Amino acid sequence: HAAKQTGEPCRTWTAELDERAGEHARLGAELRAALDAGQFQVVYQPIVRMPEGRVTAVEALVRWQHPQRGMVSPAAFIPVAEQNGLIVELGAWILQTACRQMARWRAELGPTGPDRISVNVSARQLARAGFPATVAATLAATGLPAQCLTIEVTETAVFGGGQALTALHELRALGVRIALDDFGTGHSSLGLLQTVPVDVLKVDKSFVDNITEAGRHTVIARALIQVSEGLGLTAVAEGVETAEQAAALYDLGYRLLQGYYFGKPSADPDFQPRPAAAVPVA
């Protein structure tokens, strides 16, 4: 190969790849041990209804408290767990933990607690034929009504149709809601809404980031709330960090907002309504 004769750059590149592959394999092996050692945790981020500021739902997000590396981001280890297959077992544990916690909140807090919990499910989990049965068994084991569970999937996970699409129909038949996560960043977006059974559109943070300026993001965010309303879906805006963004989204018609402005993911979230003064309604 010609590239080989160029010497150093090619060797460096190869070494880097090896290092990355090695790192990947190491992380993969550590994930297995971490699950057994109880190093994973589930944290919960509020989803707030405007204008009253009530926490109507929470999203469950996994965390890995690594003894040496500290907190490892799910963005770093979920893809590795997907690749080595551990996501099936880890995902089942996350689902069980989240449903058990939600059932506990229902019992302890009643109507002052959240109405439902959202759980992220990766492509590989969804594509397994047994996934809807796992969900049904988890609901039965934890006593959580199906109406209290939303499964978040990405456009990419359902793009190929097949078993993933079948799974969504089966989940819906159980009474579970389906949310399309990071909506607007995948390949098919609007086309998917014709064929995929979905209840909730989670409009990606990238459209929220510059929402206070007149520009493309705002045009798209406005179009997405219209599509959502027209199709009878619920829209959730993700990644709301400021009062100004919340007000701009409210103006566009968004009523369900999620982001650091309302609350960071936490093991012990605060379900107090966000006071009206803190929820800027234009």
**Whole-angstrom distance, CA of residue 147 vs CA of residue 221:** 28
**Whole-angstrom distance, CA of residue 270 vs CA of residue 45:** 9
- Told to check if 199 binds ligand C2E by CB under 6 A, we report no
**Whose Cβ is closer to Mg ion: residue 30's or residue 152's?**
152
Q: Could you tell me which of 62, 132, 57 has the C-alpha nearest to residue 97?
A: 62
Applying CB under 6 A, what is the total number of residues that bind ligand C2E?
21
Interface pattern 224-253 for Mg ion (x via CB under 5 A): --------------x---------------
- Told to check if 181 binds Mg ion by CB under 5 A, we report yes
**Whose Cβ is closer to ligand C2E: residue 30's or residue 181's?**
181
Q: Which of 73, 108, 110, 268 binds ligand C2E (CB under 6 A)?
A: 73
**Whose Cβ is closer to Mg ion: residue 155's or residue 238's?**
238
Shortest distance in whole angstroms from residue 247 CB to ligand C2E: 15
**Whole-angstrom distance, CA of residue 261 vs CA of residue 258:** 8
Listed in sequence order, the residues at least 6 apart from 222 whose beta carbon sits closer than 8 Å to its beta carbon are 252
**Whole-angstrom distance, CA of residue 245 vs CA of residue 194:** 30
- Told to check if 155 binds ligand C2E by CB under 6 A, we report no
Q: What is the 3-state secondary structure (H, E, C) of 186-240?
A: CCCHHHHHHCCCCCEEEECHHHHCCCCCCCHHHHHHHHHHHHHHHCCCEEEECCC
Instruction: Count Cβ atoms below 10 Å from residue 169 Cβ, excluding itself.
Output: 12
Q: Which three-class secondary structure state does DSSP give residue 152?
A: strand
Interface pattern 195-224 for Mg ion (x via CB under 5 A): ---------x--------------------
Residues 99-138 that bind ligand C2E (CB under 6 A): 120-122
Q: Which of 241, 255, 269, 280 binds ligand C2E (CB under 6 A)?
A: 241
- Told to check if 152 binds Mg ion by CB under 5 A, we report yes
The structure tokens 């996560």 sit at 181
- Told to check if 30 binds ligand C2E by CB under 6 A, we report no
The structure tokens 């129909």 sit at 169
Q: Quick one: tokens of 95?
A: 């689902």
**Whole-angstrom distance, CA of residue 36 vs CA of residue 18:** 28
Q: Which of 97, 120, 138, 245 binds Mg ion (CB under 5 A)?
A: 120
Shortest distance in whole angstroms from residue 213 CB to Mg ion: 20
Contact stretch for ligand C2E (CB under 6 A) within 22-30, 71-79, 158-166, 210-218:
71-79
Q: Which three-class secondary structure state does DSSP give residue 83?
A: helix
Interface pattern 177-196 for ligand C2E (x via CB under 6 A): ----xx--------------
By the criterion CB under 5 A, which residues form the site for Mg ion?
A: 120, 152, 181-182, 204, 238
By the criterion CB under 6 A, which residues form the site for ligand C2E?
A: 45, 61-62, 73-75, 78, 91, 94, 120-122, 152, 181-182, 239-241, 259-260, 265
